[in-house]
Structure formats: structure tokens, C-alpha cells
């Protein structure tokens, strides 16, 4: 997979150079072929002019002129008069050659464009895959998708269409003006006078287009986020009867988004209308003045035809040059939005192996650990905790007491700059270990299990590359999942749909637990973050007994709200408002006054 190797970009130019790696050669070839197309387009008007003036007409080609050279190439004016098929064939050959070059230009341009898009998308995905969780907490999924899809297409279209046509545009403008000046200098000045006007109003629209496009693109990201949230949370929407509310919310944001795009299209319509007006005026004035020159014998008929042809060729590239200037603003906005993602600092994830660690009884130690998501507000305060190898540890506490944050700190999935205190693993500070290798020493069931679109067996074995069907089935059995799977027509090969939509809450938790257990052979610690909440008491008890019996040497951290879930643990920590309120065994904690005893009596109905 392509990576950006944590590369930092200082500006748009540096990012474009990086993104063009692997496709730059194709775009250069496309630009050269585009220039060749311009040359072929310029030849035929000269052939027609020569035939009209010097073959069909009575004009004599000046010695050393282009027409004289052309006639000599064709065998002289007399030979051409007898064999008019010669210039006709020449025109056809030039047209066919131009068509062949156009085909080559299209192929090289398409290869360059697709390679560019492939590289940007690959590097974007690889980069976002390594960004810390704190970054995702600040950015909406829909907006990220917008940057990775629509903005990438905007950059692709600019580079493959406007930028690669630039060489052809410049060549057409320069050579057309030179050829036109050779025919009639005065008329050339009239035609060229429109060039600075077109460039001027294009530059004026450049800023306005960029500003409006930025607002519209940002609003599109918000609309995409609303759609994404509703599709993933459709069950919640239906459960609370919020269809009308969500529909109104989408309509409101879509109204704003539509208004911005209408404003943008009005701006573009004004830009193109002025362009059409300028181009039309140029063609009309040149045609009228050229006709006057012909009537007054200041220009031959052949030269008039050639001049009109070159003027038509000049009008398109000049207008296209204006479009390139205007489109540059859209591409600049898109690149800025992509660079926002690419310049986000990723986690230092590499393929280094875990170094040798102490195999003593002490596995994890937290000394005076505190953590805050917001400056000045600690969600964890001075946590001191020591976990022995093979110990079964229970954690209980109210909502917001910091239970899940504690496991985030253990697995290094939170912002390391906000962690205060010391966290050690096997005698060394956790931050000293390679991140990927360190995280593989943990297996975790999240509070809200996430299943990928695929089969049950795929989701169970997702963390293990070499897992066997027998290991998958054993993990499912230990997670008490087989009782449900046996009722499915396709068993473990049952397709669960996006986010496990076809499974119940308890089945999803057990599937996630099975995935965790499938990875238990290589993990030192199993973290079960409220992973029994959707299970009935009987299934909860059966799974816990299986875990304690079949995985006696595996360290487990079990977070729960039910006392029965953690009662069999070796030690239990009670968290209250980010601090450790009590510590001990189940028997010790219920024997003394405190939060644990209050929860126990409340759940026992006493």
C-alpha cells in the first residue's frame, strides 16, 4: 500500500508534486501530444489559404513564404491545379494524424488521471487509518468522506483537463497570433485586444469562485454526515419515531447546501456568459473588419479564410485560459481540504516487533495517572493500579466515571499528550513499545461492538490472519455464540450485513467477544468493556465461567454495571467521578459501607 511516510507538506505545490509521483510522466506526454494537436490544427487553414489564393486564385506566393514552400512541396502551383486531390489528400492526412495524436493524448491523460486519483486515495486511506482517535472526535465522518471523494475528483479534473491543456492553449495562442500577424497586423491587434480583457475578468472571478465553492463544499460535507448518521442509526431513528425530525433536519441543511450551489452556479453562469459575450464580440468584429479589408483589397480571400480560422482557434484557447484561471480556485480549495487530512499528525505505527519483556508477576502498573479531554477538567484523577499476570480484574462505576477512558489509556488509543502520570507494561513504560506490537498484546471488546459487512466467521477471525475454522468455532463456542449460530441456515457463514444489522444486540456482543477470544492466544490482556450488557443473566454467567475456566493464565479486565458480572473477579476497583473510591474482593467490598455495597443492595432489591 502506498504511504506518505508521515510526510509534512508546506503548501499546495509540495503536495501536488507528491501526489503526481507516478503520473507526472503521463501528464507531460499528454501535454506534449496536446501541443502536437495544436500544430496539426494550425496546418490545414494554411493549406486551404494556399489553394484558394495561389492555385484557384491568381495570387503569386512570395519567395520564401510558407505558401511558396508548401507549393514546392506539392510540385508547384501548375501541378496542383491539375491534381487538386493532392492538397485534399494532404488535408485528410493531417486530419487523420491529428486524430491519432488526439487518441494518444486521451490515453496518456486518462492513465495519468487515474494513477493520480489512485495515489491520492490510497495515501488518504492509509493516512486516515493511522490518525489518532482524538482527531476523529473533532471531525465528522461525512466531511472526511467528502474530502476523500468529491475533493479528489475536483483535483483530478483540474489536473487532467485544465492543466494538461495549458500547453496546447499557450501554443495555440502564440502560433495563432504569429500566423494572424503574418496575414494582417491591424486585424491581429483587434483580435488580441480581447485577451487581456478575458484574463482580467477571469482573475476577478477567481477569488469569488473559490470562496463560494469552499462554503458549498463544506456544506456538502455536513449533508453527507447527516445521511451517513441516519443510515447507520436507522434503527434508533425508527425506534424513537424521529423520521419526521431527521427528514426536516436534512431538508433544512439541504436547502442551505442547494442555496450555496445555486449562488455558485449563478457566479459561474455570469462568468461563462461574459466569456461567451467577449468571444462572440471578438469573432464578429474580426469577421466584419476582415470583410471590409477584403472589399478594399487589403486582404485576399484565402488569407481572410485562414485568418477567420485562426481567430476561431484563438477564441477557444483564450476562453479556456480564462476557465483554467477560474477553475484553479476550485482546485485550490479541494487541495486545501485534502491537505487538512494529510497534514494531521498520525500515530507512529510500524511493523517493529515487541521487544523482550519481563515475565514476572507484575503485568501493568498505573502510578498517579490522570487524563483530561478538555483543559482543566480531569476525567481520571491520580489513578494508582497494579495488575498481576493472569489476574481477573473487575471495574465498576457510574456513567462518566472514566472506566472506558482507563482502558483507552492502557491500549494507548487516547491522546498521549493529555496523559499525566506513569503507565508501565511488563516493567517498561508503555510509550517505549512499538505502538502496533503493543496493541496486539491486548484484545478488547468495545462497549458498542462493531461488526463489518461480511460473514460471522469473517468477523470472528478478522484480527488473525492464519486462524483456522476450528479456532473460529472454538472461539464462538466459548462466547456462547454457537447456540444462536446453529439456528442460522448458513451457520458461521451467515452474512451479518453492515454493522451487524441482522443480529440482535446480544448476538453482536457475543460475536465481538468471540473475535476477542480468537485473538487471546497472542494477547496478554483481554479487556471486556461492558460487553455483557445485552446478555441475559444465564448467558452472562455461562460465558464468565467459561472464560475463567478455559483462560486461567490470561489477564482480564472486566468492566460492568452489574455486580454479578464482576463478583467472581480476583480484585474489583470502584470508580467514582474519575477517582478510585474503593478496592478489594467482592466479599470485602460488600462488607463495608460505600458505593459498591449501595449498588449491590440496589441490584439485589434490598
Sequence spans of domains, the chain: 12-342, 360-441+551-606, 447-523
CA quadruple 359, 364, 368, 369: dihedral, nearest 10: 140
For residue 576, the surrounding DSSP H or E stretch is strand 571-576
Whole-angstrom distance, CA of residue 5 vs CA of residue 574: 43
CATH architecture of the domain with range 447-523 = 3-Layer(aba) Sandwich (3.40)
What per-residue string of b and e applies to 199-218 under the rule 16 or more CB within 10 Å gives b?
A: eebbeebbebbbebbbbbbe
Question: Is the predicted pLDDT of residue 422 greater than 90, yes or no?
Answer: yes
Query: What pLDDT digit, counting tens, does each position of 551-572 carry?
Result: 888 899 999 888 988 988 999 9
Q: Which of 275, 314, 146 is nearest to 219 (CA)?
A: 146
Whole-angstrom distance, CA of residue 263 vs CA of residue 385: 59
Structure-block grid coordinates of residue 275? 466569456
Question: Is 410 or 241 the better-scoring residue by pLDDT?
Answer: 410
Classify 538 as helix, strand or coil. Answer: helix
Q: Domain 360-441+551-606: state its class.
A: alpha beta
| CATH number for the domain whose boundaries are 12-342 | 1.20.1560.10
Q: What pLDDT, on a 0 to 100 scale, did the predictor assign at position 331?
A: 81
Query: What pLDDT digit, counting tens, does each position of 318-341 carry?
Result: 667 667 776 777 788 888 888 888
Q: How far is CA 168 from CA 171, 206, 313, in A?
A: 5, 22, 11
Question: Is 582 or 222 the better-scoring residue by pLDDT?
Answer: 582
Worst-scoring range by mean pLDDT, 63-72, 105-114, 301-310, 499-508? 63-72
% of the chain surpassing 70 pLDDT: 90
Q: Max CA-CA distance within the chain?
A: 121
Question: Is the predicted pLDDT of residue 3 greater than 80, yes or no?
Answer: no
Calculate the average pLDDT of the chain: 82
Question: Is the predicted pLDDT of residue 75 greater than 80, yes or no?
Answer: no
Structure-block grid coordinates of residue 135? 482527531
Question: Is the predicted pLDDT of residue 252 greater than 90, yes or no?
Answer: no
Query: What pLDDT digit, counting tens, does each position of 151-180 carry?
Result: 888 888 888 877 777 767 777 777 777 777
Q: Do the domains spanning 12-342 and 447-523 agree at the CATH topology level?
A: no
Question: Is the predicted pLDDT of residue 114 greater than 70, yes or no?
Answer: yes
Question: Is the predicted pLDDT of residue 490 greater than 80, yes or no?
Answer: yes
Whole-angstrom distance, CA of residue 340 vs CA of residue 328: 18
Structure-block grid coordinates of residue 344? 494531521
Q: Which of 523, 589, 535, 577 is nearest to 560 (CA)?
A: 535
Q: How far is CA 99 from CA 37, 40, 41, 96, 107, in A?
A: 8, 9, 10, 5, 12
Q: What pLDDT, on a 0 to 100 scale, did the predictor assign at position 64?
A: 61
Question: Is 464 or 394 the better-scoring residue by pLDDT?
Answer: 394
Compute the average pLDDT of residues 227-239.
Answer: 73
Q: Which of 136, 128, 122 is nearest to 343 (CA)?
A: 128
* 375 CB-contact burial (10 Å; exposed 0-12 / middle 13-18 / buried 19+): exposed
Amino acid at each position: 500500500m502506498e504511504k506518505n511516510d508521515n510526510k509534512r507538506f508546506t503548501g499546495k505545490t509540495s503536495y501536488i508534486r507528491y501526489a503526481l509521483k507516478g503520473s507526472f510522466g503521463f501528464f507531460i506526454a499528454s501535454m506534449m501530444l496536446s501541443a502536437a494537436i495544436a500544430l496539426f490544427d494550425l496546418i490545414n487553414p494554411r493549406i486551404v489559404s494556399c489553394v484558394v489564393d495561389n492555385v484557384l486564385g491568381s495570387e503569386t506566393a512570395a519567395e520564401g513564404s510558407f505558401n511558396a514552400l508548401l507549393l514546392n512541396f506539392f510540385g508547384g502551383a501548375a501541378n496542383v491545379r491539375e491534381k487538386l486531390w493532392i492538397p485534399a489528400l494532404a488535408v485528410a492526412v493531417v486530419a487523420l494524424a491529428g486524430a491519432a495524436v488526439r487518441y494518444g493524448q486521451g490515453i496518456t491523460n486518462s492513465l495519468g488521471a487515474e494513477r493520480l486519483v489512485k495515489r491520492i486515495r490510497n495515501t488518504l486511506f492509509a493516512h486516515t487509518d493511522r490518525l489518532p482517535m482524538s482527531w476523529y472526535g473533532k471531525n465528522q465522518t461525512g466531511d472526511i468522506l467528502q474530502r476523500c471523494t468529491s475533493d479528489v475528483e475536483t483535483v483530478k479534473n483540474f489536473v487532467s483537463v485544465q492543466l494538461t491543456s495549458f500547453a496546447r492553449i499557450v501554443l495555440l495562442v502564440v502560433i495563432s497570433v504569429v500566423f494572424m500577424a503574418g496575414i494582417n497586423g491591424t486585424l491581429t491587434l483587434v483580435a488580441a485586444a480581447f485577451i487581456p480583457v478575458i484574463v482580467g475578468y477571469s482573475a476577478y472571478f477567481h477569488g469569488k469562485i473559490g470562496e463560494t465553492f469552499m462554503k458549498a463544499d463544506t456544506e456538502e460535507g455536513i449533508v453527507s454526515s447527516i445521511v451517513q448518521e441516519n443510515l447507520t442509526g436507522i434503527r434508533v431513528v425508527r425506534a424513537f419515531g424521529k423520521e419526521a425530525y431527521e427528514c426536516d433536519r436534512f431538508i433544512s441543511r439541504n436547502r442551505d447546501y442547494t442555496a450555496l450551489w445555486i449562488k455558485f452556479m449563478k457566479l459561474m453562469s455570469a462568468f461563462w456568459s461574459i466569456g461567451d459575450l467577449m468571444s462572440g464580440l471578438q469573432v464578429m468584429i474580426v469577421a466584419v473588419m476582415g470583410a471590409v479589408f477584403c472589399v478594399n483589397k487589403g486582404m485576399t480571400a484565402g488569407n481572410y479564410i485562414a485568418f477567420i480560422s485562426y481567430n476561431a482557434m484563438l477564441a477557444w484557447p483564450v476562453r479556456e485560459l480564462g476557465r483554467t484561471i477560474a477553475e484553479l480556485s476550485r482546485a485550490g480549495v479541494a487541495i486545501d481540504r485534502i491537505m487538512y487530512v494529510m497534514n494531521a499528525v498520525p500515530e507512529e505505527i510500524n511493523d517493529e516487533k515487541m521487544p523482550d519483556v519481563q515475565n514476572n508477576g507484575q503485568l501493568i502498573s498505573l502510578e498517579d495517572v490522570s487524563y483530561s479531554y478538555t483543559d482543566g477538567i480531569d476525567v481520571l484523577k491520580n489513578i494508582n493500579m497494579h495488575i498481576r499476570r493472569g489476574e481477573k480484574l473487575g471495574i465498576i462505576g457510574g456513567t462518566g466515571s472514566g472506566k472506558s477512558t482507563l482502558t483507552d489509556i492502557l491500549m494507548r488509543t487516547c491522546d498521549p499528550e493529555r496523559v499525566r502520570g506513569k503507565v508501565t507494561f511488563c516493567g517498561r513504560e508503555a510509550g517505549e513499545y512499538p505502538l502496533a506490537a503493543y496493541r496486539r498484546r491486548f484484545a478488547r471488546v468495545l462497549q458498542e461492538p462493531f461488526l463489518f459487512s461480511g460473514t460471522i466467521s469473517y468477523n470472528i477471525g478478522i484480527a488473525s490472519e492464519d486462524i483456522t475454522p476450528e479456532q473460529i468455532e472454538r472461539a464462538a463456542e466459548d462466547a456462547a455464540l454457537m447456540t444462536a449460530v446453529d439456528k442460522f441456515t448458513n451457520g458461521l457463514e451467515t452474512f451479518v450485513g453492515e454493522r451487524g444489522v441482522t443480529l440482535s444486540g446480544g448476538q453482536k456482543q457475543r460475536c465481538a467477544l468471540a473475535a476477542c477470544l480468537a485473538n487471546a492466544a497472542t494477547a496478554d490482556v483481554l479487556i471486556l468493556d461492558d460487553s455483557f450488557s445485552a446478555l441475559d443473566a444465564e448467558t452472562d454467567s455461562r460465558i464468565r465461567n467459561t472464560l475463567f475456566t478455559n483462560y486461567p493464565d490470561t489477564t482480564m479486565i472486566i468492566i460492568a454495571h452489574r455486580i454479578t458480572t464482576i463478583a467472581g473477579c480476583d480484585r474489583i476497583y470502584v470508580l467514582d467521578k474519575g477517582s478510585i473510591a474503593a478496592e478489594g474482593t467482592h466479599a470485602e467490598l460488600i462488607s463495608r459501607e460505600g458505593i459498591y455495597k449501595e449498588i449491590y443492595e440496589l441490584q439485589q432489591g434490598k
